[in-house]
């Protein structure tokens, strides 16, 4: 049995929705990681933050 055979897209959606319960302060962690990524004209930080938060 492998993870790829058992993990479905709906599992990912549920994990994102319930992520705050699995990882307290997840938003703070995402903000810290996003702040370490250099800004670029082609990829502003705001889009990176939204992607990291599942948005």
Predicted local distance difference test score (pLDDT) of residue 42: 75
- State the Cα–Cα distance between residues 45 and 31, nearest whole angstrom: 10
Predicted local distance difference test score (pLDDT) of residue 43: 63
Is the separation of the CB atoms in 4 and 42 below 8 Å?
no
CA dist 42 → 1, 13, 24, 27, 55 (Å): 41, 28, 32, 24, 19
Is the separation of the CB atoms in 48 and 54 below 8 Å?
no
Is the separation of the CB atoms in 31 and 49 below 8 Å?
yes
Predicted local distance difference test score (pLDDT) of residue 45: 57
Give me the tens of pLDDT residue by residue for the chain, a chain 55 residues long: 455 678 888 988 988 888 888 888 988 998 999 999 998 877 665 555 555 556 5
């Amino acid at each position: 049995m492998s993870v790829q055979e058992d993990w479905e897209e709906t599992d990912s959606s549920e994990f994102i929705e319930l992520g705050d319960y699995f990882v307290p302060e997840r938003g703070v962690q995402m903000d810290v990681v996003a702040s370490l990524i250099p800004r670029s004209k082609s990829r502003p930080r705001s889009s990176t933050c939204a992607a990291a938060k599942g948005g």
